[in-house]
Structure 1
Amino acid sequence: MELRDTYALLEFQAASTKKKSLSGEPAANILALPKGDQVYHRIRNLIMHYELKPGQKVFEDEMASLFSISRTPVREALRRLSNEGLITLYPKRYAEVTFFTPEMTKQLGTMRLAQDILAGRLAIYYGSDAEFTQLTALSDICEAAAKAGDLYGRITADRHFHLKITEIAKNEILMKYQREVYLRVHLIQLQNSMHSPAQERISSHTKLIQALMERNEQLFIDEVCQRMARMYQLDEKLVDMYRSRQ
Structure 2
Amino acid sequence: MKQTLADTAYEKLLDMIYSLKYQSGDRLVEQQLINELEISRTPVREAIRRLAGDGLVDLSTGTFARIHTFTAKEKQDIGLVRLAIDTTVAPLIVLNASNKDLQDLMSIAADCQRASDRNDIMERIRLDFKFHQVLVELSGNQVFTDIQEQLTKKGRLIQIQHYSENGATFCNLAGHLDILQALNDRNTNACIKAMQDHLRPSYASHGVDSKIWEVAETALRTTDVTPFIQQH
Please state whether the residue corresponding to 1:170 is helix, strand or coil.
coil
Contact 2:122 2:160 in 1 (8 A): yes
The equivalent residue for 1:177 is: 147
Structure 2 distance, partners of 1:228, 1:106, is: 12
| Contact 1:229 1:239 survives alignment (8 Å) | no
Aligned counterparts, 1:58-137, within 5 A: 58-137=28-107
Secondary structure class of the residue paired with 2:173: helix
1:195 to 160, 169, 181: 169
**Alignment partner of 1:208 out of 172, 179, 184:** 179
RMSD: 1.8
Q: Distance in 2 between matches of 1:227 and 1:47?
A: 26
The alpha carbon displacement at 1:93 in A equals 4.9
Does 1 or 2 have the higher relative contact order (CA < 8 Å, sep 6+)?
A: 2
2:89 aligns to what SS in structure 1?
helix
Q: CA deviation at 1:81?
A: 0.8
CA contact (8 A) 2:175 2:197 kept: no
1:169 match: secondary structure: coil
Residue 92 of structure 1 deviates from its aligned partner by 2.3
Normalising by structure 2, what TM-score?
Answer: 0.85
Aligned length: 213
Q: Give the Cα separation in 1 of the matches to 2:149 and 2:89.
A: 12
- Distance, in Å, in 1 between the alignment partners of 2:38 and 2:196 is 47
The structural deviation recorded for 1:118 is 2.4
Q: Which residue of 2 aligns with 1:225?
A: 196
Q: Which runs of 5+ in 2 are unaligned?
A: 225-232
The 2-side partners of 1:161 and 1:85 are apart by 21
Q: Deviations over 1:142-167 (max 9, x none)?
A: 11111111111101111111112122
TM-score normalised by length of structure 1: 0.80
Q: Residue 89 of structure 1 contacts residue 96 of structure 1 at CA under 8 Å; is this kept in 2? A: yes
Structure 1 Cα separation of the partners of residues 197 and 25 of structure 2 = 30
1:240 to 183, 202, 218: 218
Residue equivalent to 2:113: 143
* Range with bigger deviation, 150-159 or 115-124: 115-124
Residue in 2 that maps onto 1:37: 7
The answer as to whether partners of 2:9 and 2:39 remain within 8 angstroms in 1 is no
For 1:149 and 1:119, how far apart are their aligned partners in 2? 31
Distance in 2 between the 1:202 and 1:230 partners?
Answer: 11
How high is the sequence identity, in percent, across the aligned residues?
26
Q: Deviations over 1:184-203 (max 9, x none)?
A: 11101011126336xxx332
